[in-house]
Each structure stands twice: as structure tokens, then as C-alpha cells.
Chains A and B, each alone.
Chain A
Amino acid sequence: MSEQTPQPERSGPAIGADEWVARSGERARQRTGIVGRVQELYERVPKPAVFAFVVLLAVLVPLVTAQTDNDIYFLRVGTVALVFALLALGLNVAVGFAGLLDLGYIAYYGIGAYGYAFLSSDKFGIHWQAWLVLPLVVAVSALLGLLLALPSRRLVGDYLAIVTLFFGQIFYIIATQGYRISFLGLNEDLGFDRANWDLTGGPNGIANVDRLGVFGLEASSERAYFYITLTAVVVVFAVLTLANRSRTGRAWRALNDDTLAAQAMSMPVNWLKLLAVGVGAAVAALAGTINAALLQGAFPDDYNTQVLIIIYAMVILGGAGSLAGAVLGAFVVSVLMLEGLRPQTPIGDFTGNGRWVFYATILVVLVAAIRPWRRLAAILAGIVAFGVVVHAMVAVTTDRGTDGLLNMGPDEYSGGGPLGWLIRHWLALPAGTYELGSRNWFNFALVGLIALVLCLTVVKGWKRDALIVPTVWLAGFVWETRLAQETSGPTRFLLLGALLVGLMIARPQGLLGRPRVEIV
């Protein structure tokens, strides 16, 4: 291959020739289904244009909405999504750029919130202005990030994971237990007034935290917070984009690929790791401050491991290493999974308490994963037929199973309109599963569903196609018997956990990330 100089301009495949081999990566990246095609389109548009367009759109959102209750709710959902976007951006530095598993990330978020609450609330009677508190809290958090990563600096990433995970846990313990601190009985000697000194307010947190304000101007409207958070996201996005392109960003990505080689190529890997954790901590603290001001309080359960998993799911879904992906992931997860599955909210009503999200996701996955379309059509027809037949068979043997449950909940919010009607005639739902204590149908179905899904990953060919049919039906069954009722609690976390595992196996690059190559 090296006798003659390769011709870069030569076109057309020539097996064994350098360029054809060289471009194999690009070709492999093409044709990865619908998600891949969307991604291809997205890559063709210049990035700054996309960025400007999205920002413009976001700026317009509060302007076009009037101040009805519903709109305020939507605005709040937007602000919360933006806070999550901020968190996802920050986490992306350690996880996406530098490839470090920072599981204490949630603690920095909490430190931001509690730090702001300490310095701007009635708790200790301190009411500093936000412009004073913000830099201080962010700096302290970044410093803590550096310090925490210090013990694990000489060690492989796994130790960093365990130390940081533990740290996050400790933060939560201090937050929930820190209302009765005793210094070995020395409280009085040390100048604290009570035997049990209250620092964090314990499980009740700290309420009545000041709103964000600058020189007497106070942000009090939903709109103001939306814009403040949006500004923070835009600034952090820009800062991280520039950081990624700088020598430091290159070094982060280099140590993600090969730490040892990075060190041999003059990069101080330990410092770079600390820096990545520290930068992430700063962004998280900023998000925490905003969150505390937004909620006017700091409450421990906003800063626990479950929230950490949510942020991880956002980054992974969006595509680790991609900043746009982090923002997209944050919006998808927080709007669809957190709000879309929450009952009795406008978005929840819109999605039928997540029913639409649930079935649409199944459909999208099927469409993306199965081709040609003839096979897809056959499978879809099979799914419908299967349900109708089962329904008919159950109807013949017992009337208890046919018109079960869609209206059996404690509230009448699960009628579900036309979709509900269709589902009623497709599934065979046993009566009474919502009633407390009779979880058996659901438990068996859920375990069966998990078993079926696991089987799906093993079998191939027509067997798999055939297996998809009962799996989808059972998924619907499980959803309607109980998951739909638990959407604000375990359901979404169950789905998030499954999402993380599934993504890692099926599409580790997420929606917008680039596929990574480890060893060739």
C-alpha cells in the first residue's frame, strides 16, 4: 500500500486501499436506523446556527405564553428542565470529556443549594445578596471537588467512583441528620448554644430561602427564573464548548482514551482529573443555587442518589461527550419521564399519565429496530391480533378479565379516551389489581415481562419476531395493571435503570454522541 503515494482524491471503493479502509468508520456510522438518519441531518446544519435557533426558541417561550395557571406550570417545567440541563452539562465534563465516573456529583449540587440557603435565608439570619453568594458557593464547591478527587488521584477511575459515591452518600446523611449535631458533648464549650446543634434542618430542610436578587432587584416571577436559568445554561454551554476545544479539553479527551499515553505525552493527568471534577462541581453548585432560589428552600431529597441516576440517564441518553446531547437528554428525560409520567399535571394529562409516552416509545423502538417495513408491519399486525384474540378468549371464559381496570383506579383519571378504549379491547385486565394487597397478577406479569425481554436479547431470526408479540402485549398489561399508577415513584426509576442498561448495550453513544472505539 505504500509503493505509490496514495491518491487522496481517488473515488470509489478499492478494497485494501488506504482511503477506503480509512473511511470505513464513516460508512459504518451511516445507516444506523432512524436515529442515525436524524443525526446525519443534524450534523449537516452548522452548529452555531442550531445553537442560535434553539436559544431563540427558548427565549420566545415565556413571551408567547400568557400568565394563566397552566402556562406558569409549563414555564416551571421549562425552568426545571433547564436546571437539569445545567446539571447534565456539568456532569458531562467528568463523564463525557474525561471519562471519569463521578458519582459524588449530586453532592456539589446539594452544596450549592445548602450553601445558598445558609447565606441567604432566615436559618442563620444571614441575607447576603446573590451576586456575593453565587461566586463564593461555586468556588467552595469547585475546591471541594478538587479536594475530594485528591485521595483517588493516583488510582484508577474505579476508586474515584467509589470515593465519590460514598461522598454523595455522606452529604445526604449530613443533610438529613445535621439537625442534631453534637460535638462529643462539647457544644457549650465550643460556643454553640444547644446540646444538639441544628445545621441543615434535617429531613425538613431549610425553608424560606431568599429569591435571587441583585442590588435590591429581586427575581420573583416564573419568567425571571426561566430567563436566569436559560442564561446560565447558555453561558455554561458556551464556556464548556470553548473549554472542550482548548488544550485542556484536548487533554481531557486524551486521558479518556488512554491515560498512560496522555501522561507520556506531557499531560499532568492527575491535575486534569481533579480539574474535570472541579469544573463539574462548579457547574453543579451553580445549578444548586438556582434550584434553592427557585424552590425557596433546600430539601435533602432533591439531592439524593435517585436524582444522581436521573442526571446520569440524561447524559448517557443524550450521548456522553456531547454538550448538545446533554441538553437534549435533560429535556427528554425531565419533560417526558419526570413530568410526562406525573399524574394530575397538565403534561401528565396530555400524555394520559404517561400512557402515550409509554406506547409511543415502544412503537418508536420497534420502528427503529426492525426493518424492512414488511417485517415491521407483520409484527405490528401480530401484536394487535394477539391482543384481540387473548381478549376474546378471556371474554369467553370469564367476564372479570375483560373490562377491568382502566377505570378502576382510585381516581377517574385513567379513562384514557380513544387510546384507552383501544387498550381496553386489546388487553385482558383482571379486575381488582389496583386494590391494595392484590399485587399477584402484576408481580408475575412484571417478572415474566423481564424474562421475556431478556429472552429477546438472546434469540434470533423469526423466533425473535414471534417473541416480540407477547412481550409487547405483556408490557401493556404490566403498564396498565400497576406501573401507570406508580408513575411518580418507582416506575420512572425502574425505567431509568432499564434505560441505562439498555443504552449501554444497544447504543452507548446515546442520541447525539459519537460512537467510541476502544481497542482495535
Chain B
Amino acid sequence: MAQPLLELDNVSKAFGGLQCISHLDIDVKEGEIVSVIGPNGAGKTTLFNLITGMYRPDSGDIRLDGESIVGLAPNKITNRGVARTFQTLRLFLNMSVKENVMAATYGRTHASLFESILRLPRARREERESNEVAQEKLSFFGQRLMGYRWNQPAYSLSYANRRRLEIARATATKPRILLLDEPAAGMNPVETHEITELIAELRKQGGYTILVIEHDMHVVEGISDRVVALDHGVKIAEGTFEQVATDPRVVEAYLGTAETERK
């Protein structure tokens, strides 16, 4: 196998005295779906923030396709093919569903403001393309985000639809690797089941490599090629779902032991 698509090499990050991530190594190969699990505060979202450039690691290196992306601005990293969704849902609430997705094509389009105002050919072409991208990404979810919802502001969407729109928006940046932060959080069992299938479908149709944070073990079991378990910023287990789920350290991290009450 060639070099991994995404490579975290001995990455550490601390806030004040709190070590959120310490000496973490993770590899994600092209086409893989890797789940990151761990109890609350294990450093999962911090991990995403480090990869996407929102935080800068204190030490270590993060490489995409062999090239270091440490120190790049988040938008530059996104342009290189890393897109994410947010656990807390950060849509552009006052923009329409379509515009949310179209806005995310910013990095793929290049018409200057000047060209747009004069409606020069490149601007018109790109606008058309962005529109098509929006159509394509939104139709991935069937009728849910199509039709009358197309022009509705994002704040009018239901919770589940917002999660879907987040995914559609992320895919519109043309990513190679997709970071999904708890895509099934707050969803009912049926929707959760749907998300599980959807993530597999994303890889099949879009060819994305996917790194996903998830709490729901059914989802993790259903989608993952590989699972990484974190606790207090340290990788405590890695392997197939079976291996990780039965690892005593993982069980301990989640449930605690008789002597050390952790959670």
C-alpha cells in the first residue's frame, strides 16, 4: 500500500495545562472509513480541529498525501481536500439551503468580484457549475432537501435535515477526505440507521475517504473499516470494531474500573 492519505505523526496539543492530545499517531488510507471513538473529553473534536487547521498542534506533523498541512489556514486545508461537518451544527442559518451548498464551492471557483459583476464568461460558467453542484449534493438525500426546501432559509430546517445539509455542504468543497463529527447525534433510531447506510453510500458514490467521530456503537459497527479509540488524548486501541470493542482498556475508559472512577 502506498502512503496513507492522511497521516498524524506524533501530534500533541495542550490548552493551558490540559493535555488534550498527546503523541497521537493515526493513519487513514485512501478509501477507508475510520471511526474515532472515546468518552467525552477524550480529544476527538480537538483532533478534528487540529486536522482542519482551526488549532495548530504544539508538536508533531499532520500530512495530507505526504505533504505537511500544519500551519495552513483552515480554508487552505479545505482547498487541499479536507472537509468537515460540525458536531454543534454550524450552518449559514440565514442563507437558503441551496446557497449553503453553493457557498461551499468558493474554493473551487475562481471568478473575481470584478468578473462576477461584469458577468464575464468564467463567472457565468462557474455560477452554473456551482448550481449544478448544489443540485447534485442535495439530491443525494432524496427529496428531503429538494423541492420547496431548496430556497428556504437553513434555519427553517429540522434537526435531522440540518445534519444532512451539513454533509451536503461539506461534500460541495470537493473533498478527498471527509471528517464527520457525530453525524448521528440527536437522531432517532430510524434516522441513525439511515445515516449508517448513507455514510457507506457516500464512499461508494463520492469516493471519499471518511474519518468519523461517533458515539453510537451501532453506527460505528456498521460503517467502520477500522476504529481508533481515544482516551485523554491518547490512543488506547486501534483495529477492527471487534478488536477495539473488546479491548479491556476501551472498556475501562468507558465504564471505569472499581478502583479508578473516571466518569
Contacts and interface: CB of A to CB of B under 8 A. Distances in A.
A and B touch in the complex (CB under 8 A): yes
A25 B109 CA distance: 32
Interface stretch (B28-36, B56-64, B89-97): B89-97
Interface stretch (B9-17, B111-119, B250-258): B111-119
Interface in B63-100: 73-75, 78-79, 83-84, 86, 90-95, 99-100
A245 B102 CA distance: 11
Given A251-B106, A266-B104, A517 B157 contact: no
Given A253-B95, A257-B92, A262-B103, A25 B54 contact: no
A5 B111 CA distance: 38
B224 interface: no
Nearest to A18: B158
Interface stretch (B141-149, B207-215, B231-239, B241-249): B141-149
B155 A250 contact: no
Contacts of A262: 92, 103
A260 B116 contact: no
B44 to A, nearest CB: 16
Nearest to A517: B155
Contacts of B83: 264-265
B93 A257 contact: yes
A256 B126 CA distance: 23
B156 A22 contact: yes
Contacts of B153: 25, 517
A266 B143 contact: no
Nearest to A21: B158
Interface residues of A, number: 47
Interface residues of B, number: 57
Contact of A264 (B74, B93, B111, B156): B74
A263 B130 contact: no
Given A22-B152, A242-B117, A265 B147 contact: no
Contacts of B22: none
A23 interface: yes
Interface stretch (A47-55, A267-275, A400-408): A267-275
A261 B86 contact: yes
A250 B123 CA distance: 14
A518 interface: yes
20 contacts: A5-B143, A8-B147, A8-B148, A21-B156, A21-B158, A22-B152, A25-B153, A242-B119, A245-B116, A248-B113, A248-B116, A253-B92, A253-B95, A258-B90, A258-B91, A258-B93, A265-B104, A265-B170, A267-B107, A519-B93
Given A5-B142, A8-B149, A246-B116, 18 more contacts: A6-B144, A18-B158, A239-B117, A242-B116, A243-B116, A245-B116, A247-B105, A247-B106, A247-B111, A247-B127, A250-B103, A257-B91, A258-B93, A260-B90, A262-B103, A264-B78, A267-B75, A517-B155
- For the complex of A and B, the 4 pairs showing the least CB-CB separation, nearest first, are A266-B107, A246-B116, A261-B90, A257-B92
